[in-house]
Amino acid sequence: MAYFFQQIFYRPLFNILVFFYQTISFHDLGIAIILTTILIRLILYPFFHTGAKQQMLMQRIQPKVKEIQEKHKGDTQKQSEALMALYKEHGVNPFSSILLLIIQLPIMLAFYWVVRSGLAASQFTNLYSFITAPQSINTLFLGIVDITKPNVIIIILAAAAQFFQARLAIYRAPGSNGQPSAAEKIARQMSFISPLVTILIFYSLPSAIGLYWLVTSIFSTGQQYFVNRHLKEKYGN
């Protein structure tokens, strides 16, 4: 498992990071991390696009889910069959959020191990033959922030970006007359909880991880905006 993780996640990420560091990031590791994160999000764009869309659709059909749960309250089998039929009708995959988590965790873990190694010269043996090894790595982002150490400002910015993305992912049912549904209430609560969790998790980690999460959240915000526009055109408000 360790060998699989190193070859599939750690080594490619390490090489991409060093490549950007050596070429277009002006030997700034922070900029190299930003470029690497953008590349990862572009590669995984279809998965995250589908996940953002699925999240909105799940909120949209929550009233029907509740109706089915009430109708078949005493029959688990019929309830499951009705829910599966509902998901199929609306093209919803209830496990999409789990898939996104599975995709993100090893990437974030690989980032952590890359930064934790300090990108020391001893790690350059992991470089592919066509990647030039740098003489040393400058870990200062914009000449100010040492991204191998925690940084409060980056963490707060990452939490704020996640808050805005979460707010965009809230579905307001038409004709709700200002009264939020149960799904909307949960989504609103999560928009406040998730930034707090971000602060707690990243507070003691290298700010490079926070920078990765900041760029990811900004990218997700833009992606969520376009998903919302697409769904609005298809289903209306």
Residue 157, pLDDT score? 94
* Tokens linked to 103: 């995709």
What is the tally of structural domains in the chain?
1
- Judge contact between 234 and 228, C-beta under 8 A: no
Q: For residue range 75-134, what is the model confidence (pLDDT) as tens digits?
A: 788 888 888 888 888 778 777 767 777 888 888 888 888 887 767 777 888 889 899 888
Amino acid (one-letter) located at 122: S
For residues 193 and 200, give the distance between their C-alpha atoms in angstroms, rounded to a whole number: 11
Residue 199, pLDDT score? 92
Q: What is the largest CA-CA distance in the chain?
A: 68
Residue 172, pLDDT score? 66
Regions in the chain scoring below 70 on pLDDT: 97, 118, 172-183, 235-237
**Cα→Cα distances 7→1, 17, 99, 115, 182, Å:** 10, 15, 21, 17, 44
Residue 215, pLDDT score? 94
Quick one: CA torsion of 50, 52, 54, 57, rounded to 10 degrees?
Answer: -140
The candidate with the shortest Cα–Cα distance to 37, out of 48, 51, 50, 53, is 48
Domain span including residue 208: 2-235
H or E stretch covering 2: helix 2-5
Report residue 142: phi and psi, to 5°: 60, 25
For residues 64 and 70, give the distance between their C-alpha atoms in angstroms, rounded to a whole number: 10
For residues 27 and 24, give the distance between their C-alpha atoms in angstroms, rounded to a whole number: 8
pTM of the entire predicted model: 0.83
Residue 212, pLDDT score? 92
- Judge contact between 184 and 59, C-beta under 8 A: yes
Grouping H, G, I as helix, E, B as strand and the rest as coil, residue 33 is helix
- Judge contact between 148 and 118, C-beta under 8 A: yes
